[in-house]
């Protein structure tokens, strides 16, 4: 301490690096006071988030939440007794705080948030924090990452002509307003039009021209069942037959995702792109009518509509006795009895109604099981996306209760999560023996898990950047005002103008330019994971730590690798933290004593105070290496497993 006291704060400000390097950068640590420092390169953010307000959980429901949480606990406890399981210890406030921020907000808490919680004496402070976090933009961002993985969100799903970002914004909005889950799914399944008119069409567009796969995917996501095998033959491990698959797919088969340019009634002036191209060539024979010129026209051809009379037939090589090859199939859902589809019905409306109905035995149950898994790390039924009639459920009463409650609450998923987070079981220490997934897990507590890639990234930003949440992705909501065209009348000149304006305002180049000015640091865009392009390149931090490439349903991972360690050791973001202008750097500098500075480092990174032993180690290091020691301690804590795992 004595040695440190002699070093002025100004000196500290440059010296998490070594003095030579600081000098080389022209910062000359320890210079006379009057000299002005160059501005820091670390962007700060405004502190505002330009999303609309987040729907709050209802204070009036707290009583019923408590009651339900208690019921869940009682059911779990009877499971413990029955199977001889000893529940884990209750979570300390310290561990609770970190876990609740990570699992609801998707990031670790800031120093301010920690000190606020610690100084609150209210006995209901956990309930209050859960409610506050469920009503935060952090939660929207975190849940968006979850759904982006499930729904395979890609900025340009099929090709560059197809724009999907308005759909992604629609999903964020649906999460932000806590749209009832059944309504949300229903909207996506029944949407029609162009993406800027109705962004929910992005759901149908994701599997453009793959009607059979689309049905497979939606059954897996919304019903937790895999029928894909039955696309080609009777399912070998489940009860689905190929015929049943086709009957289900028949509802979806009439859905189209591209305008038919051969439709003479619709395109009275012929193929629109050919027409404007020819027109352009007359004006300027050298004009480039590929690239953006074509793309802005083609973007208008992506539209979701329903073709009348598009029956689905069994494949020509159908091999089973119960039908003939090439036979037309009747529409029939995979569960329940046949439903009438009248001539006036749009078949997918009927399917959407069936899918999202409270009577559908799997729809509510699937999302309840998924939300449970999200909180505990293991589903009540596993695997969550391959539920079969014969699947074991480790506590069927709990799943039934959650399912019923979800339906009673009009599919309010946030209230369901609120119940889960308020259970004693969730607020227990995580299981720290190896959990054997081939045996049922009775939930003595959540299981120890590494953070998701998004949680790691967002937590690093929380440590390093003042307001990472305010770097939101430029919105494409108003893109229709520019792009929407009447394809029969639009002129070549107009198309050219539109493509130029598109280039300037909305292209990926325009986005790069904007983020470069705003939130860029040595090649990294410092925005929350939910505000970055999708999919990210394989070498991006998020991909390295397991974010999926968004090709297949929920393929994100939590495994380690050597390259992750190298990134944590040497990557830009770790070292940015040790630079002036980063949040943690500035906070350390502002603290007055060595003890306070050590506390800042531990609380910022691990959300807890150092133990006395750790404090000795840290202070010894700082005494030995001077202010560089702060950098050493910060770097070392970021590289501990305690930082990466959710206890």
221-240 residues near another protein, rule: CB under 8 A:
226, 228-229, 231-232, 236
Q: Which of 173, 567, 595, 609 binds another protein (CB under 8 A)?
A: 567
Q: Which of residues 596-635 bind another protein (CB under 8 A)?
A: 611, 614, 617-618, 621, 625, 628, 632-633, 635
DSSP label at residue 529 = G
Q: Which of 475, 478, 561, 590 binds another protein (CB under 8 A)?
A: 561
Q: Which is nearer to another protein, 476 or 600 (CB)?
A: 600
Q: Which of 124, 319, 488, 640 binds another protein (CB under 8 A)?
A: 640
Q: Which of residues 573-592 bind another protein (CB under 8 A)?
A: 575
Residue 637 CA from chain centroid, whole number: 26
Q: Which of 499, 564, 582, 598 binds another protein (CB under 8 A)?
A: 564
128: helix, strand or coil: helix
Distance CA 254, CA 204 (A): 12
Q: Which helix (H) or strand (E) holds 521?
A: strand 520-521
Q: Which residues pair with 256 in a beta bridge?
A: 305
DSSP label at residue 611 = P
Least Å distance, CB 567 to another protein, is: 5
Number of amino acids touching another protein (CB under 8 A): 73
Q: Which stretch binds another protein (CB under 8 A): 83-91, 263-271, 280-288, 569-577?
A: 569-577
Other beta carbons less than 10 A from residue 488's beta carbon: 12
Angle between helices 612-625 and 594-606 (to 10 degrees): 120
Q: Which helix (H) or strand (E) holds 573?
A: helix 572-576
Q: Which of residues 386-405 bind another protein (CB under 8 A)?
A: 386
Least Å distance, CB 242 to another protein, is: 12
Q: Which of residues 142-181 bind another protein (CB under 8 A)?
A: 158
Q: Which of 178, 403, 472, 547 binds another protein (CB under 8 A)?
A: 547
Region at 294 (left for phi over 0; alpha for psi -120 to 50; beta for the rest)? alpha
Question: Could you tell me which residues come within 8 angstroms of residue 368 by beta carbon, excluding any fewer than 6 positions away?
Answer: 399, 402, 403, 406, 416
And the tokens for 498?
A: 């539109």
Q: Which residues pair with 646 in a beta bridge?
A: 449
Least Å distance, CB 597 to another protein, is: 15
Q: Phi and psi of 176, rounded to 5°?
A: -65, -45
Q: Which is nearer to another protein, 39 or 562 (CB)?
A: 562
The verdict on 432 binding another protein (CB under 8 A) reads yes
Distance CA 574, CA 566 (A): 11
Q: Which is nearer to another protein, 99 or 450 (CB)?
A: 450
Q: Which is nearer to another protein, 357 or 639 (CB)?
A: 639
Q: Which is nearer to another protein, 200 or 215 (CB)?
A: 215
Q: Looking up tokens 């039009």, which residue turns up?
A: 193
Q: Which of 565, 590, 593, 596 binds another protein (CB under 8 A)?
A: 565
Q: Which of residues 366-385 bind another protein (CB under 8 A)?
A: 382-383
Q: Which is nearer to another protein, 353 or 632 (CB)?
A: 632
Q: How many helices (H) and strands (E) does the chain have?
A: 31, 6
Distance CA 231, CA 536 (A): 31
Q: Which is nearer to another protein, 237 or 343 (CB)?
A: 237
Q: Which of 70, 116, 505, 543 binds another protein (CB under 8 A)?
A: 543
Q: Which of 50, 263, 433, 517 binds another protein (CB under 8 A)?
A: 433
Contact 314, 235 (CB under 8 A): no
Q: Which stretch binds another protein (CB under 8 A): 140-148, 352-360, 362-370, 542-550?
A: 542-550
Q: Which of 265, 562, 592, 612 binds another protein (CB under 8 A)?
A: 562
Q: Which of residues 498-527 bind another protein (CB under 8 A)?
A: none
Distance CA 474, CA 492 (A): 28
Q: Which is nearer to another protein, 226 or 422 (CB)?
A: 226
Binding letters toward another protein, positions 9-48, x by CB under 8 A? --------xx-xxx--------------------------
Q: Which of residues 183-212 bind another protein (CB under 8 A)?
A: 209-210
Q: Which of residues 434-473 bind another protein (CB under 8 A)?
A: 434, 436-438, 448-450
The verdict on 330 binding another protein (CB under 8 A) reads no
Contact 217, 185 (CB under 8 A): no
Q: Looking up tokens 């962004």, which residue turns up?
A: 199
Q: Which of 549, 586, 609, 623 binds another protein (CB under 8 A)?
A: 549
193: helix, strand or coil: strand
Least Å distance, CB 626 to another protein, is: 11
Q: Is 71 exposed, middle or buried (0-12, 13-18, 19+ CB in 10 A)?
A: middle
Least Å distance, CB 422 to another protein, is: 25
Q: Which is nearer to another protein, 321 or 539 (CB)?
A: 539
Contact 488, 269 (CB under 8 A): yes
Distance CA 213, CA 157 (A): 14
Q: Which helix (H) or strand (E) holds 257?
A: strand 255-258
The verdict on 78 binding another protein (CB under 8 A) reads no
Contact 167, 201 (CB under 8 A): yes
Question: Could you tell me which residues come within 8 angstroms of residue 30 by beta carbon, excluding any fewer than 6 positions away?
Answer: 8, 10, 11
Q: Which of 8, 52, 90, 560 binds another protein (CB under 8 A)?
A: 560
Distance CA 214, CA 357 (A): 20
Q: Which is nearer to another protein, 33 or 316 (CB)?
A: 316
Q: Which is nearer to another protein, 31 or 319 (CB)?
A: 319
């Amino acid at each position: 301490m004595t040695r440190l006291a002699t070093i002025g704060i100004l000196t500290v400000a440059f010296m998490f690096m070594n003095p030579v390097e600081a000098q080389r950068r022209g910062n000359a640590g320890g210079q006379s006071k009057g000299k002005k420092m160059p501005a820091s390169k670390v962007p700060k953010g405004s502190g505002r988030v330009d999303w609309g307000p987040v729907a709050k959980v209802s204070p009036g429901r707290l009583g019923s939440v408590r009651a339900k949480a208690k019921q869940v606990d009682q059911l779990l406890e009877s499971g413990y007794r029955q199977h001889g399981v000893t529940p884990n210890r209750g979570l300390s406030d310290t561990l609770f705080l970190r876990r609740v921020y990570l699992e609801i907000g998707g990031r670790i808490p800031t120093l301010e948030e920690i000190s606020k919680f610690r100084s609150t004496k209210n006995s209901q402070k956990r309930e209050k924090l859960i409610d506050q976090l469920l009503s935060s933009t952090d939660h929207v961002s975190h849940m968006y990452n979850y759904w982006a993985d499930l729904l395979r969100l890609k900025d340009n799903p099929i090709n560059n002509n197809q724009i999907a970002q308005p759909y992604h914004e629609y999903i964020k909005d649906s999460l932000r307003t806590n749209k009832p889950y059944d309504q949300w799914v229903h909207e996506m399944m029944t949407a029609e039009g162009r993406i800027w008119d109705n962004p929910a069409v992005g759901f149908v567009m994701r599997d453009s021209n793959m009607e059979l796969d689309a049905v497979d995917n939606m059954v897996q996501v919304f019903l937790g069942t895999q029928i894909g095998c039955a696309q080609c033959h009777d399912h070998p491990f489940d009860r689905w037959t190929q015929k049943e698959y086709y009957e289900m797919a028949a509802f979806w088969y009439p859905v189209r995702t591209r305008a038919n340019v051969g439709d003479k009634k619709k395109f009275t002036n012929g193929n629109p792109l050919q027409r404007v191209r020819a027109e352009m060539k007359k004006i300027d024979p050298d004009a480039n009518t590929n690239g953006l010129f074509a793309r802005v026209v083609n973007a208008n051809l992506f539209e979701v509509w329903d073709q009348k009379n598009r029956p689905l037939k069994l494949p020509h090589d159908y091999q089973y006795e119960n039908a003939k090859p090439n036979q037309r199939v009747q529409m029939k859902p995979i569960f329940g009895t046949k439903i009438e589809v009248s001539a006036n019905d749009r078949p997918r409306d009927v399917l959407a109604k069936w899918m999202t109905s409270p009577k559908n035995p799997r729809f509510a149950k699937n999302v309840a099981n998924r939300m449970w898994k999200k909180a505990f790390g293991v589903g009540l039924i596993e695997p969550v996306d391959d539920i079969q009639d014969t699947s074991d459920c480790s506590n069927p009463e709990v799943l039934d209760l959650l399912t019923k409650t979800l339906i009673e609450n009009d599919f309010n998923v946030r209230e369901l999560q609120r119940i889960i987070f308020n259970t004693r079981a969730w607020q227990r220490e995580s299981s720290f023996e190896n959990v054997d997934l081939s045996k049922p897990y009775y939930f003595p507590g959540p299981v120890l898990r590494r953070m998701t890639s998004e949680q790691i990234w967002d937590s690093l930003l929380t440590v390093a950047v003042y307001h990472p949440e305010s770097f939101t992705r430029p919105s494409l909501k108003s893109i229709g005002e520019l792009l929407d065209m009447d394809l029969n009348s639009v002129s070549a000149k107009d198309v050219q103008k539109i493509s130029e304006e598109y280039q300037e305002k909305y292209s990926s180049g325009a986005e790069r330019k904007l983020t470069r000015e705003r939130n860029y640091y040595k090649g990294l865009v410092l925005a929350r994971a939910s505000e970055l392009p999708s999919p990210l390149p394989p070498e991006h931090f998020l991909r390295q730590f397991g974010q999926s490439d968004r090709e297949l349903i929920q393929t994100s991972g939590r495994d380690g690798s050597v390259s992750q360690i190298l990134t944590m050791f040497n990557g830009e973001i770790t070292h940015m933290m040790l630079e002036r202008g980063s949040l943690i750097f500035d906070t350390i500098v502002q603290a007055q004593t060595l003890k306070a500075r050590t506390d800042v480092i531990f609380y910022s990174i691990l959300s807890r105070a150092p133990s006395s032993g750790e404090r000795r180690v840290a202070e010894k290091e700082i005494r030995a290496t001077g202010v560089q020691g702060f950098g050493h301690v910060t770097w070392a804590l970021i590289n501990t497993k305690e930082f990466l795992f959710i206890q």
